[in-house]
């Protein structure tokens, strides 16, 4: 899996940098492209194809040990569809457009375009990237730093700066309250950092442990970690996990200090604007949400279905706290919230009020406001509506949230409702309201850059395209699995051509067939335990081990597809496809190769024995050796058993061989289909 991870990282690097203004990054992107895809100019659609191919290979590897079920599989799979009760359907997503006042709209654009824009924003983030100031690195010189360790340190700090900038923007989109709380914390941290430099003989400390675990923390945890970091600075503490910089030795000493002060001034300016606008109390988003929640609850019983409860999801605990407080004023004693920890007593209350399968059913609470702590593992099917308070940049998170109210065997509502929130402006003409919402969301998307997971890599981002992606049906977020496609095809064949299914039982152990193909290729299918493995050789003589999904289209045929004679080079290609080098080519470890060699040597020793109890099993031993050297269908566990055969204890060897022969079955050595 390390190889797959490296390949995905390389593809991501190509996407991010193949059009970079930095010639070194462009050159590296081209080098990676030549290695992963092909020689020639970068075609980004081919990297998409390669990424899908890698994903298919990974699914093929993990498929035997996972259960993959999405809505489409449950509804369309011939097996699953018979085992489940009906699922609810989703209505097309609804929009909640909240109207910013003229001053709020100006503030909105000011934050996104002036303060935290990617290249031209006022936010320096100096405390997150001291290495840049220590070495005096310009944007064009980012990759010119010598030494692998230095480059890693620099990249981690650049990533931290980008992450913090993204987090600020996403919290701003979530709620003005979450944004205010974030800016307050960052202002306090920056002030403390500057004080620490002044009173510690020009030292600055960066927590390397925090940086290395950044990708494993959610954004609330990151803010908590930064708060702990601030406490350490205030106490003058630092340990071996900290990187200690001597600021007065920086190449950009004065700039480092002045940029920290500039960020402090920026945060103070923002907080002053928040106060002047009274934007927390005059929050149009909460007002719009409140109106929509009231409309849902007041709709009552419709078509003999129970009254709908509502779940409001946000990524951020600050937003949950703010929204819950505001909505509670409108809906007293009807709301329960989960901004942080989830004690057992609250879980029980939530389940009694929202879980359709709970033994005890209560109706005290109609509204649940929560972070994604409840987005997995909870049955909340009594809620007929989900409101995504933040823009759902991550489609997987949307699917997880909707899964709480669309439970197998617990259908409460025939149709479920989804709501997404978008900002627009007061006084806009009706036909421009949605256009303004699109433009504002697109500004945020561009600020987040590749941090957003909305667009496909081959799709050109546009405001309308972004809006369309955000408002797409949940079913379009899923993809019918390959197994479901196969089962449906098998069912169709069984119905229309039942004799084909029954004839499978009488097929010979070895089977060779040919049909027209362009380009020509040879695929050898090998049964190994419960798995099916494939070795392919293309028209250039290149050998690979594709998944069944990858070769399916080229072996698929119609009932009247003619069976052609084998090509003149079939047997030579067959020998190449079964080359001994294949194990090493697919990345076998030295331990695996050593075990195979040891097992082969033991079998060779046994073939040299003259004892009758061994010679009587010579044919089976030959089949085992042939499999190890040519066919390679034996499971790893069996190879390990062979490598451990007690060669000096022939009676023990005989027992092991007989047990193995029984387990592999009488067709072993010829069972290739």
Q: What pLDDT is stored for residue 155 in this prediction?
A: 77
**How many Å apart are CA 197 and CA 206, to the nearest integer?**
12
C-alpha closest to that of 272 among 178, 183, 189: 183
Q: Which residues face 543 on adjacent strands?
A: 537
Q: What pLDDT is stored for residue 671 in this prediction?
A: 45
In order of 55, 93, 301, 352, 418, the CA distances from 469 in angstroms are 22, 11, 32, 35, 14
Contact 632, 591 (CB under 8 A): no
As a whole number of Å, the end-to-end CA separation of the chain is: 29
**How many Å apart are CA 133 and CA 135, to the nearest integer?**
5
Q: What pLDDT is stored for residue 179 in this prediction?
A: 94
Q: Which residues face 421 on adjacent strands?
A: 96
**How many Å apart are CA 334 and CA 312, to the nearest integer?**
13
**Phi, psi dihedrals of residue 238, rounded to the nearest 5°:** -160, 150
Backbone dihedral region for residue 138 (phi beyond 0: left; psi -120 to 50: alpha; all else: beta): beta
C-alpha closest to that of 521 among 589, 570, 470, 449: 570
Q: What pLDDT is stored for residue 478 in this prediction?
A: 63
Contact 325, 175 (CB under 8 A): no
**How many Å apart are CA 398 and CA 475, to the nearest integer?**
11
Q: What pLDDT is stored for residue 209 in this prediction?
A: 59
DSSP letter string over 170-224? HHHHH-HHHHHHHHHHHHHHHHHHHHHHHHTTSEEEEEHHHHHTGGGS-HHHHHH
Q: What pLDDT is stored for residue 104 in this prediction?
A: 92
Give 504's DSSP letter.
G
How much is the pTM? 0.69
**How many Å apart are CA 495 and CA 515, to the nearest integer?**
24
Q: Which positions of the chain have pLDDT values less than 70?
A: 1-2, 59-72, 82-85, 139-151, 207-223, 225-226, 229-242, 375, 408-409, 427-434, 441-467, 469-471, 473-479, 528-531, 578-593, 630-631, 669-673
Contact 603, 621 (CB under 8 A): yes
Give 510's DSSP letter.
B
Q: What pLDDT is stored for residue 585 in this prediction?
A: 40
> What CATH number does domain 283-429 carry, 3.10.620.30, 3.20.20.100, 3.30.930.10, 3.40.50.300?
3.40.50.300
Q: Which residue has 């002030």 as its token pair?
A: 191
Centroid of chain to Cα 447: 21
């Amino acid at each position: 899996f390390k190889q797959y991870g490296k390949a995905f990282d390389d593809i991501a690097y190509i996407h991010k940098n193949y059009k970079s203004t930095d010639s070194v990054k462009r050159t590296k992107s081209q080098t990676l492209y030549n290695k992963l895809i092909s020689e020639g100019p970068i075609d980004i659609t081919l990297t998409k194809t390669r990424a899908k191919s890698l994903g298919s290979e990974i699914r093929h590897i993990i498929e035997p040990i996972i259960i993959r079920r999405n809505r489409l599989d449950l509804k369309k799979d011939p097996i699953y569809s018979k085992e489940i009760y009906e699922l609810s359907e989703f209505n097309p997503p609804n929009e909640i457009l909240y109207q910013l006042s003229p001053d709020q709209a100006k503030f909105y654009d000011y934050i996104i375009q002036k303060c935290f824009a990617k290249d031209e924003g006022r936010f320096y983030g100096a405390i997150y990237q001291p290495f840049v100031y220590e070495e005096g690195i310009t944007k064009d010189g980012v990759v010119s730093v010598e030494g692998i360790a230095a480059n890693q340190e620099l990249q981690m700090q650049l990533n931290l700066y980008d992450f913090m900038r993204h987090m600020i923007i996403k919290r701003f989109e979530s709620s003005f309250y979450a944004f205010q709380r974030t800016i307050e914390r960052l202002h306090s941290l920056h002030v403390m950092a500057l004080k620490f430099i002044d009173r510690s003989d020009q030292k600055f400390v960066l927590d390397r442990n925090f940086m290395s675990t950044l990708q494993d923390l959610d954004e609330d945890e990151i803010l908590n970690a930064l708060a702990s970091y601030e406490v350490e600075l205030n106490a003058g503490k630092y340990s071996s996990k900290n990187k200690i910089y001597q600021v007065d030795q920086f190449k950009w000493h004065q700039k480092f200090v002045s940029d920290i002060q500039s960020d402090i001034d920026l945060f103070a300016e923002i907080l002053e604007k928040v106060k002047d606008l009274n934007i927390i109390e005059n929050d149009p988003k909460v007002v719009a949400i409140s109106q929509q929640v009231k409309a849902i609850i007041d709709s009552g019983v419709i078509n003999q279905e129970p009254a709908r409860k509502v779940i409001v999801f946000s990524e951020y605990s600050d937003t949950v706290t703010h929204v819950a407080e505001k909505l509670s004023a409108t809906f007293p004693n009807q709301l329960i919230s989960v901004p942080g920890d989830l004690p057992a007593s609250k879980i029980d209350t939530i389940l009694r009020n929202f879980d359709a399968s709970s033994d005890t059913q209560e109706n005290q609470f109609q509204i649940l406001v929560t972070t994604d702590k409840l987005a997995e593992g909870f049955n909340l099917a009594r809620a007929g509506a989900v409101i995504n308070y933040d823009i759902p940049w991550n489609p997987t998170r949307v699917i997880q949230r909707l899964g709480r109210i669309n439970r197998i065997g617990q259908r409460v509502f025939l149709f479920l409702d989804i709501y997404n929130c978008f900002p627009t402006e007061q006084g806009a003409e009706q036909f421009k309201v949605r256009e303004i919402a699109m433009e504002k969301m697109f500004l945020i998307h561009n600020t987040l850059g590749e941090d957003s997971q909305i667009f496909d890599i081959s799709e050109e981002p546009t405001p309308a395209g972004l809006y369309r992606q955000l408002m797409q049906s949940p079913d379009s977020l899923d993809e019918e699995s390959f197994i479901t496609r196969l089962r449906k095809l098998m069912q169709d064949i069984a119905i229309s051509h039942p004799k084909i299914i029954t004839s499978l039982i009488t097929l010979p152990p070895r089977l060779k067939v040919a049909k027209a193909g362009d380009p020509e290729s040879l695929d050898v299918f090998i049964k190994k335990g419960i798995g099916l493995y494939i070795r392919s050789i293309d028209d250039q003589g290149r050998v690979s081990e594709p998944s069944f999904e990858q070769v399916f289209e080229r072996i698929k045929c119609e009932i009247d597809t003619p069976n052609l004679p084998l090509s003149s080079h079939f047997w030579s290609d067959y020998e190449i496809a079964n080359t001994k080098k294949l194990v090493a080519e697919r990345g076998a470890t030295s331990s695996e190769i050593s075990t195979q060699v040891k097992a082969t040597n033991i079998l060779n020793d046994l073939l040299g024995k003259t004892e009758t109890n061994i010679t009587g099993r010579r044919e089976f031993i030959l089949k085992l050796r042939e499999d190890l050297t040519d066919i390679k269908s034996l499971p790893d566990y069996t190879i390990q058993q062979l490598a451990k055969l007690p060669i000096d204890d022939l009676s023990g060897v005989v027992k092991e061989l007989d047990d193995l022969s029984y387990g592999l079955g009488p067709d072993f050595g010829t069972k290739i289909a």
